[in-house]
Structure 1
Amino acid sequence: MTQILVLHNSLNPSASASRAMTEAYLQRVRASEPDVRIIEHDLAARPLPHLPPEILPSLFGQVPQPGPEAEVAARSDALIGELEQSDVIVIGAPLYNFTIPSTLKAWLDHVIRGGRTFSYTEAGPQGLLPPGKRVLVFTASGGVYSEGPGAALDHLVPYLKSVLGLIGLSDIQVVRAEGMKLPDGPARREAAIADAAALAD
């Protein structure tokens, strides 16, 4: 049975293009694979806390002490467990101030741990997640950042590819609903939603 991990990050619950793309994809998946298991986290509605100092023992490979240290480590371990067990990771990531939402950064900080999801080797960092996972990034922006003058300001897609690659996630597909504030924004939005749904095939 396929397991899909979904991370919503848009602050706009009703008119978000990244949420619309995610839902279009999930609807087609459910139609074709009714027994699919989907784990959803709305990180905008229920954000994770930023990493507190109590996580430091776990970051350095030490056994956390009972109490706050163990509680923080357990949260991180649970999120990593979901990631390890999922076949597809769907990330709704609107472009905020040229980069990812802070809610997504908090999730990344919880799941990127040396010795747990990546290790340092003589050849450089090596991802420790099981191979074969697929990542779908549905991103939306008011302007165009995939090409032209705006490309230099896109710190979302390059960053996600780098940081996810660190833990072994290299099969990454990106669908952009960009130019939402341009005159043809509605048409761009619908095309992106269709592209997102097509990835379910």
Structure 2
Amino acid sequence: MIVFNEKGKLELERLLVQNTLSAETIKKYDHRKIMSKVRRIFKIMDDSYYYQINEDKISYEITDDLKFIVHGNIPLNNIEAIDIPLTFNEKEYRNSQVLYFYLLKRFKEAFSNLDEVERFIIKNFEYDKPQIYVDESICYEMNIHKDKYYLSKKSAYIKLAIQLGLTYKDDIDELIITKVKETILEEIVTLDKNHME
């Protein structure tokens, strides 16, 4: 639950941990690689703001009550035609206010699907400048064991990346590897059966 104390500070121990990914699911992903991809998306979102030449600049913020807000707007008919995956090509976002707006909208949707602790972690480590907390101080403020905290931290980045499609290539690669291994095993079993006859 998002609660502020009398000084206006967010009470971390009251934040909800609801849908953290399981440790088994988290192990399937390289969380460092995913953190790097999420950081790159934040860099693109920040850089693209400065390349807008229109007076009506589009921007975003993550508020203290952990909401992702997009300021500015693009007519919806421009957005409806776009159905493309996210790209790491900064120039595409710099050259198109529509693509930048689309990126922010997708990020907002993904961010809203995180639980409160996960949103706080992303805000603290990726948005807040300077960063307010370090890992140890978050554990202390939340009064949770470091293992549970790190599970939430990894879950936050992985869930965000999955929703943004940043893991798509890795997921496909894993699927291909699994299928190849299954095929090889089937061939070995077939060979063994043929040799036994």
Same fold flag (TM > 0.5): no
Max Rg structure: 2
Higher strand share: 1
TM-score in terms of structure 1 length: 0.28
TM-score in terms of structure 2 length: 0.28
Higher helix share: 2
